[in-house]
Every structure is written in C-alpha cells, then in structure tokens.
C-alpha cells in the first residue's frame, strides 16, 4: 500500500454550511471470494437496541420465533433456521412484526413487565408508538407531539414496504426523456416520469395485493392520497442509492466514456444494500447516462447478504449495462486481495452509504485503514450521512485525517421516507442519504491547501 502521511492535530472543526460546487455537464454480477469477517454494523445496531429499551432485542427474537441473533442473521443472509421461524398466514406475520414495536415510549416497559391489569396501546394519532397507560402518554406528549405527524407516515410506510418485498410494486423504469443536467432533484424526476409514474401508482393502488395487504394488517385502509404518497416515498428510498451514485459521477467529473466501462465500489455494504437487491435495481443509474459504456457496481462489506453473493454472473461488462456483484469482507482486505492483484478493476469512484465511523471507536477502528487507503490512492469518494449532526462529525474526522474535501451538503436525491429510531421513537426521524461528502486525496498536497485554509478561516 502507499505510505501513510502523519495525522495533524491542529485543525479545527469545519463549518457545516455547504460548499457550492457546480458539477460538470455530462450529457448481472461477478462472483468474488470471501474474506475474513470484521466488525458487523448490523450486529452492533441490533444489540444497541437494549441500551435504550432493556430486553428489546429478545422481544424481537421472540416475536420472530427465533432463539438467538445468530439465527436472525442466518435468516437475513437467506439461510434456513433450525427453530420454528415463519408464520402461518399474513395476518400472523403482520401482527408479530407490529408486536416488536410494543414497548412504552415513556417508561420503556415491555409487555412482559406489565401487570395483568395493563396493556400497551398505541397513540391514536400516529398508530406508531405505544404506552402502558394514560399517565405515561400524558407525560410523554411534550416530546411525542414534535414527531407524531411524521411517525404517522412511518406507520403507513412500514406496511406498504411489503409490496416491494413481494414484487407487487414494480418501480417505473426506462430511458430518461430529459437530459441529465435537467433532472436535478426528485421534483424534476417525478415530472420527467409523469404519466408513466401515474399509471404505475394507479395500478398498485387498485391491485388485489393492496387489498390483501390492508385486510391482513388488521387496521383501516388509509385514503388513496395517503397510500399514493407512501408509494412515492418508498420509490425514492429504493432509487436514492443509484441516483446518488449518479450525482457523484457527475460532480466528481468521472469519465463515463471510459473504454471498458466504469467500476464503482460501494464499501461498508450491509444487508440494507444487498438483501433484497436484484439485477436491474440499479438500471436507473444507466438511464441517467445515455451512451455509457457500462457500470460495474461491486458491494463490499462484512454484512453483504449470502444470496447477493450467489446471484452472480461471469459475463464481461457490456456498453449500456449495469452489473451488480458482492464481496463479503473489509474493503482494505478486498483491495489487497482483488484490486492490487489485478483480479478486479481499479475503481473509478468509491461510495459509502452511512458508514457510521463517527458513531463508535469500534467502527472508526474498522474504517480507518479504508479511509487512509482512499486518501492515499486519491480515489474519488462519496459518503452519505443521515443528518447535519452526522455531517459535522464526519467532516471533522476526515479533516483530521488530512482528507481533501471537495464538496458537502444536502443530497437532492435523498430518500423521502422517514426512518424511525427503533428504540427511541420520539427522536426526530432521519432520512437515508440526507447529506453527502465528496473527497479526493490529501489536503496536504500543495495545490489543495486553499480549501483547507478557507474552512479554517470560516470557524
């Protein structure tokens, strides 16, 4: 690997006011070997639930008919558990999934901790959070009132997402009718898709699958406009990642006319990016760049789903196609074993969706070799975060590592689906890929010092 330059300690935190950058105008998978495992963000996230609601992880396992996290992880990876996991009917499935949310939002009591005379009941406004009694609900209202309206959307989306899992909601797709430099955000994307989008949404709203969904959910079916808005939010959640990749390609000036096509690495990938991802899910990236010579998107992470690894092909990259593949392991190991040896092409761009290295020393330790590698090899990189707070913390870490920040700010293609903090439901919901950071190489390079001075002068 390239030598690591020494970290400098004197830098101040950067301001989180976005740097304005004008992007340049830009008019099925390969099997890879497994690497040794590393820290699992999926496992850390699962067990962190107990920090705020003691016993919540065990409640989830119980309601899913599982005995351990290992069994849970096996199912996520597409395996068959030894215990009685599974549901006899859709009604049971939806009921048990809803039961995993049943704990008092104020006192954190689980159903097993209640007296025989008490039962957890949901807020009638949002149907999302639960209380063990009127007193807890009254005391919690000052906090809950700030997010109640937004959590109402979460409760609808949580059920509607099942239509994506079953394949009953197929996203509108096809070549873009507008130039890429015109489609700058979701508003323009929705306008471009126009009649095609309307027809898709109308078909789903009138489908037998939609009727069955709400009959099985055991709750009143919302009005059509509520359901249509939910479908749009789910659509943005599914397409946010490929369109964010496209945003990075444009802003970082990646040559999409490169002979042999482009290789894009998604690092730190988990089951979120890979469990339900299929060939064709990233076709929107290809439609964003008519005339491209092919994109190979490689998902690399310790939590890449087993099924994603197996759904591979050895076909060469063809012009106009988008191929997906996966590799389970840490990125710096993947680099040494696959990229440096010439088995896999050098990446034109690397993307990390919610790396979370700011969140804990364990994750930062795991990410440090990768961040230094990306810096020292001067690989164009884009990362996304959930919020302005995460943006500020991540920027500080990158500045301390002497990384040259090109741009950061709000992502025009963020997901519009609010994400509830599972064990802390009254915390403000977040949105996937809400903000981005783009960087390239080291700020120590002589011709890259101006931005660093500007950032330091601004705080």
Predicted local distance difference test score (pLDDT) of residue 222 = 95
Arithmetic mean of pLDDT, 252-263: 93
Q: Confidence class of residue 3 from pLDDT cuts 50, 70 and 90?
A: very low
Q: How many CB atoms lie within 10 A of CB 455?
A: 19
What does the pLDDT look like over 380-438, one tens digit per residue? Answer: 999 999 999 999 999 999 999 999 999 999 999 999 999 988 788 899 999 999 999 99
Is residue 30 scored above 50 in pLDDT?
A: no
Average pLDDT of the chain, as a whole number: 84
Q: Could you give the domains of the chain? A: 41-159 (no CATH), 164-231 (no CATH), 240-457 (3.40.50.150)
Q: Could you tell me which residue, 110 or 63, shows the higher pLDDT?
A: 110
Answer yes or no: are the C-beta atoms of 432 and 240 closer than 8 Å: yes
What does the pLDDT look like over 162-173, one tens digit per residue? Answer: 999 899 999 999
Q: Look at residues 42, 41, 98 and name the one whose alpha carbon lies nearest to residue 74.
A: 42
Q: Phi/psi of residue 87, each to 5°?
A: -135, 145
Predicted local distance difference test score (pLDDT) of residue 315 = 63
Q: Could you tell me which residue, 190 or 83, shows the higher pLDDT?
A: 190
Predicted local distance difference test score (pLDDT) of residue 59 = 83
What does the pLDDT look like over 328-378, one tens digit per residue? Answer: 899 999 999 999 998 889 999 999 999 999 988 888 998 999 999 999 999
Arithmetic mean of pLDDT, 4-33: 38
User: And the tokens for 174?
Assistant: 């096809």
What does the pLDDT look like over 120-147, one tens digit per residue? Answer: 999 999 999 999 999 999 999 999 999 9
User: And the tokens for 311?
Assistant: 């759904």
Is residue 442 scored above 80 in pLDDT?
A: yes
Answer yes or no: are the C-beta atoms of 410 and 184 closer than 8 Å: no
Q: Could you tell me which residue, 412 or 2, shows the higher pLDDT?
A: 412
The rounded distance, in Å, linking the Cα atoms of 158 and 230 is 10
Predicted local distance difference test score (pLDDT) of residue 85 = 62
As a dihedral over the C-alpha atoms of residue 307, residue 308, residue 310, residue 313, rounded to 10 degrees, the angle is: 150
Question: 104 vs 123, 211, 376, CA distance in Å?
Answer: 11, 31, 49
User: And the tokens for 129?
Assistant: 């959070």
Question: 201 vs 34, 77, 196, 339, CA distance in Å?
Answer: 40, 31, 9, 43
Is residue 230 scored above 90 in pLDDT?
A: yes
Predicted local distance difference test score (pLDDT) of residue 88 = 73
Predicted local distance difference test score (pLDDT) of residue 27 = 28
Predicted local distance difference test score (pLDDT) of residue 17 = 46
Answer yes or no: are the C-beta atoms of 368 and 412 closer than 8 Å: no
Predicted local distance difference test score (pLDDT) of residue 100 = 86
Arithmetic mean of pLDDT, 249-277: 90
The rounded distance, in Å, linking the Cα atoms of 69 and 76 is 10
Helix (H) or strand (E) holding 195: helix 186-205
Q: Could you tell me which residue, 344 or 29, shows the higher pLDDT?
A: 344
Is residue 2 scored above 60 in pLDDT?
A: no
Predicted local distance difference test score (pLDDT) of residue 147 = 95
Percent of the chain scored above 90 by pLDDT?
Answer: 59
The rounded distance, in Å, linking the Cα atoms of 144 and 126 is 10
Per DSSP (E only), the strands in 114-160 are: 121-122, 130-131
User: And the tokens for 158?
Assistant: 């949580």
**Residue 310: which residues within 8 A CB-CB, separation 6 or more?**
none
Lateral strand order in the sheet of 435-442: 322-328, 295-301, 262-267, 349-353, 381-385, 435-442, 403-410
Answer yes or no: are the C-beta atoms of 409 and 394 closer than 8 Å: no
Q: Look at residues 237, 384, 303, 329 and name the one whose alpha carbon lies nearest to residue 44.
A: 303
Q: Confidence class of residue 452 from pLDDT cuts 50, 70 and 90?
A: very low
- Convert 201-227 to b/e letters by CB count within 10 Å (16 or more is b): beebeeeeebeebbebbeeeebeeeeb
Bridge partners of residue 135, in order along the sequence = none
**Residue 229: which residues within 8 A CB-CB, separation 6 or more?**
153
Predicted local distance difference test score (pLDDT) of residue 451 = 46
Q: Confidence class of residue 21 from pLDDT cuts 50, 70 and 90?
A: very low
């Amino acid at each position: 690997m390239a030598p690591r330059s020494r970290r400098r300690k004197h830098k101040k935190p950067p301001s989180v006011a976005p740097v304005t950058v004008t992007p340049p105008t830009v008019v099925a998978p390969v099997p890879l070997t497994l690497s040794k495992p590393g820290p699992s963000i999926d496992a850390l996230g699962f067990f962190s639930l107990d920090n705020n609601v003691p016993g919540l992880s065990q409640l989830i396992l119980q309601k899913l008919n599982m005995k351990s996290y290992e069994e849970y992880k096996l199912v996520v990876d597409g395996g068959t558990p030894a215990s009685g996991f599974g549901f006899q009917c859709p009604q049971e499935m939806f009921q048990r999934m809803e039961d995993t949310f049943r704990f008092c939002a104020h006192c954190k009591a689980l159903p097993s901790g209640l007296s025989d005379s008490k039962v957890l009941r949901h807020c009638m406004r949002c149907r999302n959070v639960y209380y063990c009694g009127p007193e807890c609900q009254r005391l919690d209202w000052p906090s809950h009132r700030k997010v109640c309206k937004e959590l109402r959307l979460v409760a609808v989306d949580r059920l509607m997402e099942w239509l994506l899992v079953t394949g009953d909601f197929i996203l509108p797709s096809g070549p873009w009718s507008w130039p890429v430099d015109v489609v700058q955000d979701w508003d323009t994307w929705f306008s471009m898709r126009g009649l095609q989008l309307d027809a898709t949404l109308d078909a789903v709203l009138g489908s037998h699958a939609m009727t069955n969904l709400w009959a099985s959910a055991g709750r009143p079916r919302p009005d059509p406009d509520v359901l249509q808005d939910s479908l749009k939010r789910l659509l943005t959640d599914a397409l946010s990642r490929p369109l964010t990749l496209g945003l990075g390609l444009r802003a970082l000036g990646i040559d999409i006319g490169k002979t042999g096509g482009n290789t894009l690495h998604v690092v730190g990938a988990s089951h979120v990016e890979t469990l339900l991802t299929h060939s064709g899910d990233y076709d929107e990236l290809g439609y964003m760049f008519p005339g491209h010579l092919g994109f190979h998107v490689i998902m690399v992470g310790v939590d890449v789903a087993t099924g994603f690894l197996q759904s591979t092909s050895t076909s060469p990259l063809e012009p106009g196609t988008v191929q997906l593949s996966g590799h389970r392991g840490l990125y710096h190991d993947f680099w040494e074993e696959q990229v440096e040896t010439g088995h896999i092409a050098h990446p034109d761009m690397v993307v990390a969706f919610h790396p979370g290295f700011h969140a804990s020393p364990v994750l930062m330790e795991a990410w440090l070799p990768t961040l230094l590698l990306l810096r020292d090899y001067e690989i164009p990189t884009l990362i996304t975060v959930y919020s302005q707070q995460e943006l500020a913390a991540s920027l500080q870490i990158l500045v301390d590592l002497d990384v040259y920040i090109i741009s950061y700010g709000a992502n025009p293609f963020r997901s519009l689906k609010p994400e509830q903090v599972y064990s802390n439901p009254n915390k403000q919901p977040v949105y996937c890929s809400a903000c981005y950071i783009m960087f390239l190489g080291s700020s120590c390079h002589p011709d890259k010092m101006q931005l660093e001075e500007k950032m330091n002068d601004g705080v």
